[in-house]
Structure 1
Amino acid sequence: MRLPPLQLLPAFDAAARHLSFSKAARELHLTTSAISQQIKQLEAQLGMPLFRRLTRRVELTEAGHEFALVAAKTLGAYRSGHAAFVQKFARAQLRLSMTPLIANEFVIPRIQDFQSAHPELSLSIESSMDLVDFDQEPIDAAVRVGAGQWPGLEAWLLCECVAVALAAPSLLAAQPIRRIDDLVHHTLIRRRQEQFGWADLARLMQMPGVSGRNELLVDSDLAALNAAQRGQGVTLSFLPAGVAPSVLWPEDQLRAVMPPFKTSLKAWFVFRPNDAKADLLREVFAWICEQIAPSRDTDS
């Protein structure tokens, strides 16, 4: 007796479990007619009926019951074997969410280094300032700036953060900034959502406020940096403590207008406690720490 084609087994298996060609069709996203045709081909190959076609239902014959066990065992072995194969050979994936500055200036430009050292691991990077709902979003870890206390989550310290005021060289050539009072002659760039802005800088310096000639409101850190590079004003940005601005922005594009200001904010690597991917997350955490370390100041 010739061995029937394996591609006929899923239709028979589904119909045998449901005792319905139409339900089998819905499960396999096929038409009822296609299910019926495949089962007829299988019966022709075996040379015996597997179903009794009654008025409004079908029943398995004795041979159908026996072959249903064969089909279920065969398909079960294939599914479990495929799962074991994927677990052994498929690349593990980690989906990370990061603040735009850390993602675009520290991680993404050097991601090839990580992937070369870890060919078994695939990283997906999302750039966002929004808080991550780990219960609702398929994110494995997030890099965020804050106090490090997020209920129900574990947070590893990446670095302390400083604030730096940046402006284009052309802007500074036209109107130098030698002290903070000189900002009154410039446009101050602000972000719609910011954890540290000009008002926070004023409190840090124990001043009633920081005044500018006017303000420019933008949507993100990257938009603020782009506006500053075009000479449209002065912006505040976060940096890991000890990292010089010239590491990220050539001095012909942006310059620090005064020394960095120490803040109470820190960058954290946040993830679910007891995560099944904890060992992989530890590898990624250690690598990100290396990228934002002050020792990278001499990198080109």
Structure 2
Amino acid sequence: MSERIKPLPPLNCLQAFEAAARSLSFTQAATELSLTQSAISRQIKRLEECLGRPLFHRDALGVALTPAGKRYFNLVQRLLRELASGTAALTRSQGSLQLTLASSPTIASMWLTRKLPELQQLYPQLEIRILTTADPRQLDLSEFDLALYYLVPGEMEPSGVQISRIMEQEEVIAVCNAGYLQQAGSITSPQQMLREHTLLELEDYYHDWLTWEDWFEAIAEPYQAPARTLKANSYQLLMQAALAGQGVALGWARLLQPYLQEGTLIQALPHSMPSKGYLCLLEPSHRHPSAATRMFTQWLLPERDN
């Protein structure tokens, strides 16, 4: 007979510990799990009593993992991810090819949804689900199969994933709708654009590397505060404003290629700068590729399998 498994801590205590250890915040863990902070504290205290040792140092500045807590966090996180992955695989219907793609709202709406008809024509049996969140570091690795994000190499890269570039030599250009030029007048130079046109500016902590100031510096033009601006903390909203003729925005040339080809957006000036970020494919490192993920990666990155 196989050996009986010894009693384990309650699953809700392990989930509370994993969330609190990952964020080093009982408050954030409570928000993530839709619990109160006191409930998180009780569950972690119960876990510590079960283990017979503290998992956190607590002081006025916050919490930090003890050496034992760090070791246990690595174990619990790995096992919870494997459990979630295995559960998801078993709950999928037999023979189905389900694929959950995570991406930023901008990439999902402006690039991915325009590319998917090509994929679905090639693989009509695929069942696609799209999950959007602006910051890839907030993704739970058990919730998606593949992800698509612009990433700056070496900066703010999410952990636990393999990263492959989809687009090389990406350029950042100034774009607007043709209707905007009919209303506001032509754009003849970078300096004239600053003086006479509305610049669409992104206020976003994650994409703060895509700024007008950087763009002007890269094209060797002096920068000053533009005469008029329209600001938003969502790049998706900013691009919708550009499409609606509200002003001039910065955009990635290859991401916006379909809009440039059909004329819904035009390049306002011939100048461009190399992008600091690249459109990348993220693959969870802990998971074996499914048939659905192999289909997608072979379609998106055919050269990788050659």
How many residues align? The count is 205
Tell me: CA distance 1:116–1:233, structure 2 relative to 1, closer, same or farther (3 Å). Answer: closer
Q: TM-score, normalised by structure 2?
A: 0.57
What is the letter of the counterpart of residue 235 of structure 2? D
Contact 1:132–1:142 (8 Å) recurs in 2: no
- The equivalent of 1:257 in structure 2 is 268
Q: TM-score, normalised by structure 1?
A: 0.58
- The equivalent of 1:196 in structure 2 is 210
Paired with 2:142 and 2:230, the residues of 1 have a C-alpha distance of 33
- The equivalent of 1:108 in structure 2 is 113
Contact 1:163–1:262 (8 Å) recurs in 2: yes
Q: Which residue of 165, 178, 185 maps to 2:188?
A: 178
Structure 1 residue 216: deviation in Å? 0.8
Structure 1 residue 210: deviation in Å? 4.9
Contact 2:141–2:284 (8 Å) recurs in 1: no
User: Does 1:97 pair with 2:102?
Assistant: yes
Paired with 1:87 and 1:227, the residues of 2 have a C-alpha distance of 40
- The equivalent of 2:166 in structure 1 is 158
Paired with 2:200 and 2:92, the residues of 1 have a C-alpha distance of 49
Structure 2 SS opposite 1:258: strand
Flag the structure with larger Rg: 1
- The equivalent of 1:15 in structure 2 is none
Tell me: CA distance 1:103–1:85, structure 2 relative to 1, closer, same or farther (3 Å). Answer: closer
- Counterpart mapping for 1:258-273 below 5 A: 258-259=269-270, 260-273=272-285
Structure 2 SS opposite 1:89: coil
Tell me: CA distance 1:214–1:134, structure 2 relative to 1, closer, same or farther (3 Å). Answer: closer
- The equivalent of 1:78 in structure 2 is none
Structure 1 residue 196: deviation in Å? 0.7
Q: What are structure 2's unaligned runs of at least 5 residues?
A: 1-88
Moved more, 278-287 or 93-102: 278-287
Structure 1 residue 122: deviation in Å? 1.6
Identity %: 20
Structure 1 SS opposite 2:172: strand
Q: Which residue of 178, 181, 199 maps to 1:169?
A: 178
What is the letter of the counterpart of residue 176 of structure 1? S
Tell me: CA distance 1:241–1:220, structure 2 relative to 1, closer, same or farther (3 Å). Answer: closer
What is the letter of the counterpart of residue 262 of structure 1? P
Tell me: CA distance 1:148–1:271, structure 2 relative to 1, closer, same or farther (3 Å). Answer: farther
Paired with 1:86 and 1:189, the residues of 2 have a C-alpha distance of 45
Alignment root-mean-square deviation, CA? 3.1
Moved more, 118-127 or 266-275: 118-127
Q: What are structure 1's unaligned runs of at least 5 residues?
A: 1-83, 291-300
Paired with 1:155 and 1:148, the residues of 2 have a C-alpha distance of 10
Deviations 1:196-217 (A, max 9, x none): 1212212322344254212111
Moved more, 254-263 or 158-167: 254-263
What is the letter of the counterpart of residue 117 of structure 1? L
